[in-house]
Structure 1
Amino acid sequence: MSHATHANAALTPRARLRLARLIVEDGWPPARAAERYDVSWRTAKKWADRYRDEGPAGMLDRSSAPHHQPNRTPAPVVRKIVHLRWKQRLGPVEIASRLDMPSSTVHAVLVRCRINRLTHIDRATGEPIRRYEHEKPGHLIHVDVKKLGKIPDGGGWRYVGRHQGRRNKALTAERTGQRSKRFDPLTGTCYLHTVIDDHSRVAYVEAHDDETKETATEVLKNAVAWFAERGVTVTRVLSDNGSCYRSRMWLETCANLGIVPKKTRPYRPQTNGKIERFHRTLAEGWAFKKFYNSESARLAALPAWVHEYNHHRPHSAIGKAAPITRLNNLAGHHT
C-alpha cells in the first residue's frame, strides 16, 4: 500500500489518484468527491488538475522549497566568505564579524560550499583537499615507519602513573643495559614498518628494532609476497623521504620486484595521508588501547589487531566495509 511522504498529508498518493479519477474520468463534481474523501473543494480540484496535466505521477508530494529565494546570500558575499575561510582559516563568528552579518548565515554558506570543517581544507594551499583512490588493489601501496616507545616491565606511565612508570623504566633499563648518551635509563624504541594498499586500505605490519635500509627493503619484499598470496600484484610504492627509502638498496629492490618507487613532497605528510590515518587508528586501537605489562605482551596482541582491522573492522572511507573485502578477486573484480 502506498503511503504519503509526509505526516500531515490528508490523503495517500493512492487515495489522491482515486479522488482525481472520480472527477476526471467518472465526471463527479469536485464538491461531491471532496465530501466523500473528507477534504476541501480546493484540495479535490488541485489533485484533479494535476491528474489531467501529469497523470498518476502527479499524485506524489512535491518539494516545499520555494522556487525563488530572494533572501539568499548574494554571490559576491559568498565569495568573500569562501576566501576568508580558505586563505585565513577563520571560523563563522570571525567571518561574520568582518563582514557584519549573522554567524548563522556564514555557517550555512560554509555548509553549502562543503568547507564547514577545516579538515576539508589543505593547510598549505588553503584549497579544498582533493582525495584520490587508485582503481585496483596493488596499483599503489603506502609505506612508512611508526615509532613507539617500548613498554617497560610492569607497565608504562600512561596506566601506572609517572612515578611508578619511571621506576619501571629504570628497572627495565637495568635488566637490558640500555642507556642514553647521558646515561639515562632507556627502554628502547619499537619501529613499526607499516604498508597500506591505497585501494582497499588493507594493512601489513612488521615490528622491528630499527628503520635501516636493510629492514625496510626486507619488509617490502615480505609485504609484496603477502599481497601476492592474496592475488594482488604491487606495481607502485609511495614513501616519504626517509633515509632508508632514499637508499640505493631500496631502489634496487623496487626494480627487482618490478615496482615503481614514488616519493611524497618534502614536509607534506598529507600526501601520505592514508598511512598517517592508519597510524592513528593503530595507536588508538592497539598500542594505547589497554594496559600492557610489558613490550612483549603488546607485540603479542599486534597480529590479532591487524587481523581484526583487515577482516572485521568497518572502514568509513570504503563504505563501512572491511578492507579485505576489496581484495576479493575470485570473481575477477580487478582483472
Structure 2
Amino acid sequence: MSHANAALTPRARLRLARLVVDHDWPLARAAERYDVSWRTAKKWAERYRHEGPAGMCDRSSAPRRQPNRTPAPVVRKIVHLRWKQRLGPVEIADRLSMPASTVHAVLVRCRINRLSHVDRATGEPIRRYEHEKPGDLLHVDVKKLGKVPDGGGWRYVGRQQGLKNRAATAARTGSRNKRYEPNIGTCYLHTVIDDHSRVAYIEARDDETKETATEVLKNAVAWFAERGVTVQRVISDNGSCYKSHLWRDTCTELGITAKKTRPYRPQTNGKIERFHRTLAEGWAFKKFYNSESARLAALPAWVHKYNHHRPHSAIGKAAPITRLNNLAGHHI
C-alpha cells in the first residue's frame, strides 16, 4: 500500500482484477464495487492478465532511464576514495571536480555514507553475519578487570583516596606485585555469547588458565542445554588457554568444533568484544561499589536483566532470551 489512504491494497487489487478477468464483470461495475475509477480498474485488470498475482504489488516510481545519473566509472572512483582513504564528500568532490551533494548521493546509494559502516583497518564495508539457530556458534573470551579495593576505586573516590584504599586492601591481604607495590588482584570474567540470540553466560574466576577455561566451557554448554540449545561450534581468540591441547580435547569430547579468530583481528569476534563494552558500562563501572565482593554480588542480577529484559538493538530491540526455545519458566 503506497499510503495510509490508498483505496486499493494489493489484496483488494487482486480481488478487483479477478472479478474482471476471471468472472467477466464489467469494468464499470467492478470499479463501482471498489469505489475507484474505471481507468484504475482497467489498469489492475490488465496487469493481472499479463503478470498474474505478482503484478498487484507496487512498482518503483523511478524512471526506467536516467540520462543524468552519475556514470559508473565516476561511482567507482568515489567508492575507491571512500574505502581506501576514508575521505568525506567535500574532499572527494574537490578531487573529482564535482558537487559534494552528488558525491553524498552516491555514497548513500552505495550504503557507505557513514564511516561507521566502513572497517577502519581495511576501508572495506563491514561484513556482518549471524548464524541461523541458537547454538550454531558460541563466542568465548576473557574480560580482565582490576578488583575494587575496600572503600571504593579511584573512579568514584578520586585518585588520592583510591590509592589509599588500594594500599589498605593490599596490606590486609598481603598481596604485592613483583616490584613490591600494593596489588589487589585481577578479576577474570569468562564470557560466553550465543551468536544467534546474544544470550550471555558469565563466570568470574581468579585466573585464565586452560583448566579454568575448559571448565567454564563445560558449564556453559550444560547451561545452554538446559534451555534447549545444542552447541555446535565455539570461536575464540588465540589466547594460550584456547590453544592448549586440553581445550582441543574438551571440544572434541563435547562434540563441538573449535574455531579461532584471525590474529590481530578482534573484529572477527566482534559480538563478544561489543558485549564486554556493554558489560563495563552497565555493570562494572555503572555505579559505586565499596568492595569487589559487592560488585560480584551485583553481577547475576545484571546478567539476568541483559538476557531477559534489556532490548538488544541487533535483534530487533528484543530481549536475547526471546530467541531461544520458549521453554516453560525460562523467559521469566
TM-score, scaled relative to structure 1: 0.80
Q: Which residue in the other structure is 1:227 paired with?
A: 224
Distance 1:96 1:113 in 2: 16
In the TM superposition, residue 64 of structure 1 has moved relative to its aligned partner by 6.4
In the TM superposition, residue 62 of structure 1 has moved relative to its aligned partner by 8.5
Q: Which residue in the other structure is 1:160 paired with?
A: 157
In the TM superposition, residue 81 of structure 1 has moved relative to its aligned partner by 0.8
Deviates more, 1:214-223 or 1:318-327: 318-327
Distance 1:61 1:195 in 2: 45
Distance 1:133 1:280 in 2: 20
> Which SS does the other structure have where 2:190 is aligned?
strand
**Amino acid aligned to 1:247:** S
Q: Which residue in the other structure is 2:299 paired with?
A: 302
Larger radius of gyration: 1
> Which SS does the other structure have where 1:273 is aligned?
helix
1:169-188 superposed matches below 5 A: 169-188=166-185
Distance 1:242 1:212 in 2: 10
**Amino acid aligned to 1:144:** D
In the TM superposition, residue 230 of structure 1 has moved relative to its aligned partner by 0.9
- Deviations along 1:200-259, one digit per CA (max 9) or x if unpaired, are 111100011111111111101111111111111112111110000111111121122121
Q: Which residue in the other structure is 2:287 paired with?
A: 290
Structure 2 unmatched runs, 5+: 9-26, 30-35, 48-56
> Which SS does the other structure have where 2:125 is aligned?
coil
Question: Do the aligned partners of residues 13 and 229 (structure 1) sit closer, same or farther apart at CA in structure 2, a change above 3 Å counting?
Answer: closer
Question: Do the aligned partners of residues 54 and 139 (structure 1) sit closer, same or farther apart at CA in structure 2, a change above 3 Å counting?
Answer: closer
In the TM superposition, residue 25 of structure 1 has moved relative to its aligned partner by 4.1
Q: Which residue in the other structure is 1:86 paired with?
A: 83
In the TM superposition, residue 186 of structure 1 has moved relative to its aligned partner by 1.9
Contact 1:149 1:189 in 2 (8 A): yes
Distance 1:330 1:155 in 2: 41
Q: Which residue in the other structure is 2:186 paired with?
A: 189
Q: Which residue in the other structure is 2:3 paired with?
A: 5
Distance 1:115 1:234 in 2: 35
Distance 2:134 2:4 in 1: 44
Distance 1:61 1:249 in 2: 59
Distance 1:216 1:297 in 2: 24
TM-score, scaled relative to structure 2: 0.81
In the TM superposition, residue 49 of structure 1 has moved relative to its aligned partner by 4.3
Q: Identical aligned pairs, as a percentage?
A: 80
Distance 1:191 1:235 in 2: 25
**Amino acid aligned to 1:178:** S
Distance 2:28 2:268 in 1: 65
In the TM superposition, residue 104 of structure 1 has moved relative to its aligned partner by 2.7
Contact 1:4 1:13 in 2 (8 A): no
Question: Do the aligned partners of residues 318 and 62 (structure 1) sit closer, same or farther apart at CA in structure 2, a change above 3 Å counting?
Answer: closer
Distance 2:138 2:7 in 1: 53
Contact 1:314 1:322 in 2 (8 A): yes
Structure 1 unmatched runs, 5+: 15-23, 27-43
In the TM superposition, residue 63 of structure 1 has moved relative to its aligned partner by 7.0
Q: Which residue in the other structure is 1:119 paired with?
A: 116
**How many residues of Structure 1 are paired with residues of Structure 2 in the alignment?**
298
Q: Which residue in the other structure is 1:21 paired with?
A: none
1:1-335 superposed matches below 5 A: 5=3, 13=7, 25=28, 49-54=39-44, 68-328=65-325, 330=327
In the TM superposition, residue 261 of structure 1 has moved relative to its aligned partner by 1.0
Distance 1:6 1:261 in 2: 51
In the TM superposition, residue 78 of structure 1 has moved relative to its aligned partner by 1.1
Contact 1:5 1:61 in 2 (8 A): no
> Which SS does the other structure have where 2:151 is aligned?
coil
**Amino acid aligned to 1:312:** H
**Amino acid aligned to 2:193:** I
Question: Do the aligned partners of residues 119 and 61 (structure 1) sit closer, same or farther apart at CA in structure 2, a change above 3 Å counting?
Answer: closer
Question: Do the aligned partners of residues 113 and 166 (structure 1) sit closer, same or farther apart at CA in structure 2, a change above 3 Å counting?
Answer: same
Distance 1:307 1:153 in 2: 26
**Amino acid aligned to 2:169:** T
- When the two chains are superposed, the root-mean-square deviation of aligned CA atoms in Å is 2.9
